[in-house]
Structure 1
Amino acid sequence: MQIDTVNPATGKVIASYEAESSEDVGRKVRLGREAYAEWKKVDLGERAELMRRLGRVMRKNREDYARTVTEEMGKPVRQSLAEIEKCAWVCDYYAEHAEVFLRDQIVPTEFRKSFVSFEPLGVIASIMPWNFPFWQVMRFAVPALTAGNVGILKHSSVCLGSSLKIEQAFHDAGFPENVFQIVIGDYRVGEALVQADIDAVSVTGSLNTGRRVAELASAGMKKFVLELGGSDPFVVLEDADLNQTAHMATQSRLLNTGQSCIAAKRFIVVRSVAEKFTKLFVENTEAEVVGDPLDPKTTVGPLVRDSQRQALAKQVEDARAKGGKVLIGGNPVKRDGFFYEPTIVSNVGHEMDLVREEVFGPAAPIIVVENEEQAVREANNSEFGLGASIWTNNIERGIKIARQIESGLVSVNEMVRSDPRLPFGGVKKSGIGRELSEFGIREFVNIKSVVVKDIQSRLLVE
């Protein structure tokens, strides 16, 4: 089967690839198993040095990698460059900190010695989406491989060129053969990979993808980590700095053309400042530049596929039909490619898809509430729980509210971002498990307890 990748800014095919078979998947898993037998023996210091080299490869080739990302999925090129730099950062971070994260932990007991060790699991599969083609792979692969595992990536059909460049980057950094591999194909190849002789799987993707992977992995008693998206609340309280908040609302909603799991998606505003915030939000959004994503001046590119644009248009039209007021945008852009106008909708309610569903595109619903208590209830009124942000000039108030929000990450006076230093993941239907930080590197290890009793004490008794 042939898989075509399409430039979403033009709608034209840019490359074609031949999908691999389930037999190919099985062969690569066997190669990974053989590579693991040696890789797990490599000293952690050597693995860390290879990660440093990988970071250097990322920085050396950032222009090339960024162009590939932009051409395959439409991200504005400045944001693509920032994505590659973040990949280098995660390499550096684990190279520096892995020894501490994986060091034996001594536990005082009545025995001669008791400790906890962190040992690799084996062959880890990853199924990754298209919206951050390099970053989402690297935030899985870097900690997993540093811990002594090997990885096999099944990437989205949208960004197969990116997957090939990632595989080549590991090779260029000097990693042993088959420590990191890719397989090419659609969902059937992904299912074959999960059902093959792997030890665990990491998934970033849709709720339906996560459910299917969890079903298949559970049947084989294989561990899984799932990051499945969100509908992040952006809570604006009456004491917020509205100029700063409106600017950050625009950035948080339109980053990657709104195609981010941790983009702000529900704007919950206290009534006393709703009118002023809305005016500023519209003004900031009007200033964004929609255009060719390879132009450095562009801030909003195309959606990844026409089907994605149609899904967004359906959500906006549903809101309009049910009484929502479109303040700006609300239509496809009349040009080649899969562009949609940045859109803000007021007078919305929970009967609308724009509020109930995850919105993966440049459209923002504004929900007006009466007070802080109602804002918290509204923020938690979602099946998702990935990220949230709170905007207030009272830091202690922001922290108090952050503790009440049902999500894996809460930012006060900052947009939600993933960070190698902090655990990343969600609650409710946003996922299971964590990536990044010391918690992420320990997801794919055997946390082993070792207890040692002094044999001499037994001999003396005898």
Structure 2
Amino acid sequence: MSTTQTGRSQDDRSLAERTRAVLGAVPTQLLVGGRWQDAADGATFDVTDPATGEVLTSVADAGADDARAALEAAAAAQAGFAAMAPQERADVLTRAFALMHERVEDLALLMTLEMGKPLAESRGEIAYAAGFFRHFAGEAVRVSGGYQVAPAGGSRHLVMKQPVGPCVLVTPWNFPAAMGTRKLGPAIAAGCTSVVKPAPATPLSMLALAGILAEAGLPDGVVNLVPTTRAGEVVEPMLRSGLARKLSFTGSTAVGRTLLEQSAEKVLRTSMELGGNAPFLVFADADLDAAVEGAMAAKMRNGGEACTSANRFLVHEDVAEDFGRRLAERMQALVVGPGTRDGVQLGPLIDGGAREKVEALVADAVDRGARVVTGGSAVEGPGFFYAPTVLTDVPHDARIRSEEVFGPVAPITTFTDEDEAVTEANDTEHGLVSYVYTRDLQRALRVCEALEAGMVGLNAGVVSDPAAPFGGVKASGLGREGGRVGIEEYLETKYVSVRM
């Protein structure tokens, strides 16, 4: 056996040992009222590695009775937690932030195993996720109200902010740690208890996170966790129960619409971060080196499995050929493989269904006249891999222009002037994020104002930041997460009129 082979064998053994240790340390039960317990009916489901298709572990599969018990535990803990000093809530979040950084390697490996992204990206997500705890630790002690003399002078207006109450938090599979902390951070800071339903494809990161919060001193019942494959059976009864006061959901627009209807009966406060169809505009005067770098970040973050992923590349006809060639060179050079291997830059898609959708969208575009510059097919072998792909000459009627790809595919079309670019960019029901590359300041401001999106990356391929308000317009959602406004989603405003 060569030295290289011996090294690989040793690396494989080391990874296997770490994997066993990391998986063995993660709770796999439901968390209800501070107790880890099995599902009432004993049901479980398997969590698989998308790079191999192998089962990692089995997790308790909550049913309706479990969800009710979890919500009752949250409701029972609400008054006491709301009365907890803001500084104490902030201290819990600060300790959780520190613990996440101490355990970044184990948390990153866990995420890569269940979700597939390369370890470098997983480490980045853990740092990003922990940042929400640090940010909202600061916001916890800055919640304020107001006091003013009434215009007529005969009374005083006292305004106070109070916790909304028990929350139902539904998180997606693609950012299993960050989407949890982005909801739990402000909920805890505001004094709200919660029941969290993580995505069944990636529950392990949330289970580990719940354990960290308990270790950080979060009181029993404040955060309850119900992994499940029976989402309809679990979530809808909680929304209609009368015990929940808020729903925060990150996921598809179709599911979001259903949850909004279910929330209407009890008039719940809702935050919705839904689907995207992000345009990436490259004007003729753009710095093409910067635009390609930004395109790689905007398209390939999380392998394209992100609601903020650039979905439509709209490039001025004068630079489209050069931009497409450069982007294809960068995409073609990406190393594809299991995220646990050194040097890998693109992991698998989350499952077979996700890969089939990408294959179908690419095939439809090609059938309608699009040209494959690089990629365009699945990668053989175990796991759900798809080659990094660039398409040019994508026609307007191709499905890939209107449907979220959620994969490593960059479809390019051209435009001739600014008005056409903005019109094309806004020609979608979604409005989460847009990207603009230009060196003309006046054009930049005009286009940023004209784009129908909740966020814009101006000469930037990444917009996410715990200290910035994240959210969309139109069918991309309601409300904002992160930033100074993020905690407001978990607070009610009460006005007290005081006669003098």
Contact 1:231 1:265 in 2 (8 A): yes
Mapped pair 1:168 → 2:211: yes
Query: 1: CA distance between counterparts of 2:206 and 2:237?
Result: 18
Q: In the alignment, what sits opposite 1:16?
A: 58
**Offset at residue 397 of structure 1 (A):** 2.1
Contact 1:144 1:150 in 2 (8 A): yes
Contact 2:89 2:140 in 1 (8 A): no
Query: 1: CA distance between counterparts of 2:329 and 2:63?
Result: 51
Q: In the alignment, what sits opposite 2:224?
A: 181
Q: Give the 3-state SS of the residue equivalent to 1:261 in structure 2.
A: coil
Q: Structure 1 residues 10-19 or 236-245, which shifts more?
A: 10-19
Q: In the alignment, what sits opposite 2:492?
A: 446
Q: 1:321 aligns with which of 367, 372, 382?
A: 367
Q: 1:67 aligns with which of 104, 109, 125?
A: 109
Q: Give the 3-state SS of the residue equivalent to 1:327 in structure 2.
A: strand
Q: In the alignment, what sits opposite 2:7?
A: none
Mapped pair 1:130 → 2:176: no
Contact 1:399 1:412 in 2 (8 A): no
Contact 2:112 2:339 in 1 (8 A): yes
Q: In the alignment, what sits opposite 1:393?
A: 439
Q: In the alignment, what sits opposite 1:415?
A: 461
Query: 1: CA distance between counterparts of 2:441 and 2:353?
Result: 42
Q: Could you give the per-residue CA deviations for residues 343-391 of structure 1, whole angstroms, max 9, x where no partner exists?
A: 1111112311111111110111101000111111111011110001100
Q: In the alignment, what sits opposite 1:49?
A: 91
2:401 maps to a residue whose letter is V
Q: In the alignment, what sits opposite 2:140?
A: 98
Query: 2: CA distance between counterparts of 1:430 and 1:218?
Result: 19
Q: Give the 3-state SS of the residue equivalent to 2:318 in structure 1.
A: helix
1:221 maps to a residue whose letter is V
1:32 maps to a residue whose letter is A
Tell me: CA distance 1:43–1:239, structure 2 relative to 1, closer, same or farther (3 Å).
same
Contact 1:387 1:416 in 2 (8 A): no
Contact 2:304 2:408 in 1 (8 A): yes
Contact 1:70 1:293 in 2 (8 A): yes
Query: 2: CA distance between counterparts of 1:56 and 1:154?
Result: 24
Contact 2:197 2:225 in 1 (8 A): yes
Query: 2: CA distance between counterparts of 1:135 and 1:426?
Result: 18
Q: 1:346 aligns with which of 392, 412, 420?
A: 392
Mapped pair 1:194 → 2:239: yes
Q: Could you give the per-residue CA deviations for residues 216-265 of structure 1, whole angstroms, max 9, x where no partner exists?
A: 11122211111112011110001100012112212211111100000111
Instruction: Give the RMSD, CA atoms, in angstroms.
Output: 1.3
Count residues with an aligned counterpart.
Answer: 453
Mapped pair 1:159 → 2:205: no
Query: 2: CA distance between counterparts of 1:283 and 1:39?
Result: 54
Q: TM-score of the superposition, structure 1-length normalised?
A: 0.96
Q: Could you give the per-residue CA deviations for residues 137-164 of structure 1, whole angstroms, max 9, x where no partner exists?
A: 1101101110010111001001121221
Q: Structure 1 residues 338-347 or 395-404, which shifts more?
A: 395-404
**Offset at residue 272 of structure 1 (A):** 0.9
Q: Give the 3-state SS of the residue equivalent to 2:244 in structure 1.
A: coil
Mapped pair 1:433 → 2:479: yes
Contact 1:409 1:416 in 2 (8 A): no
Q: Could you give the per-residue CA deviations for residues 67-100 of structure 1, whole angstroms, max 9, x where no partner exists?
A: 1110001011111111111122111112123333
Tell me: CA distance 1:67–1:282, structure 2 relative to 1, closer, same or farther (3 Å).
same
Q: Give the 3-state SS of the residue equivalent to 2:337 in structure 1.
A: coil
Query: 1: CA distance between counterparts of 2:395 and 2:366?
Result: 11
2:353 maps to a residue whose letter is S
Q: Give the 3-state SS of the residue equivalent to 2:428 in structure 1.
A: coil
Contact 2:67 2:234 in 1 (8 A): yes
Q: Structure 1 residues 90-99 or 177-186, which shifts more?
A: 90-99
Q: In the alignment, what sits opposite 1:459?
A: none
**Offset at residue 438 of structure 1 (A):** 2.1
**Offset at residue 396 of structure 1 (A):** 3.3
Query: Which residues of structure 1 form unaligned runs of 5+?
Result: 455-462
Query: 2: CA distance between counterparts of 1:131 and 1:190?
Result: 20
Q: In the alignment, what sits opposite 1:458?
A: none
Q: Give the 3-state SS of the residue equivalent to 1:126 in structure 2.
A: strand
Query: 1: CA distance between counterparts of 2:361 and 2:279?
Result: 18
Q: TM-score of the superposition, structure 2-length normalised?
A: 0.88
Mapped pair 1:30 → 2:75: no
Query: 1: CA distance between counterparts of 2:327 and 2:359?
Result: 21
Tell me: CA distance 1:229–1:453, structure 2 relative to 1, closer, same or farther (3 Å).
same
Q: In the alignment, what sits opposite 1:117?
A: 160
**Offset at residue 108 of structure 1 (A):** 4.7
Q: In the alignment, what sits opposite 2:350?
A: 304
Query: 2: CA distance between counterparts of 1:140 and 1:282?
Result: 37
2:492 maps to a residue whose letter is N
Q: In the alignment, what sits opposite 1:457?
A: none
Mapped pair 1:226 → 2:272: yes
Mapped pair 1:279 → 2:322: no
**Offset at residue 169 of structure 1 (A):** 1.1
Q: Give the 3-state SS of the residue equivalent to 2:386 in structure 1.
A: coil
Q: In the alignment, what sits opposite 1:384?
A: 430
Q: In the alignment, what sits opposite 2:259?
A: 213
Query: Which residues of structure 2 form unaligned runs of 5+?
Result: 1-42
1:125 maps to a residue whose letter is V
Q: 1:235 aligns with which of 277, 281, 296?
A: 281
**Offset at residue 116 of structure 1 (A):** 2.3
**Offset at residue 296 of structure 1 (A):** 3.7
Q: Structure 1 residues 227-236 or 245-254, which shifts more?
A: 245-254
1:327 maps to a residue whose letter is V
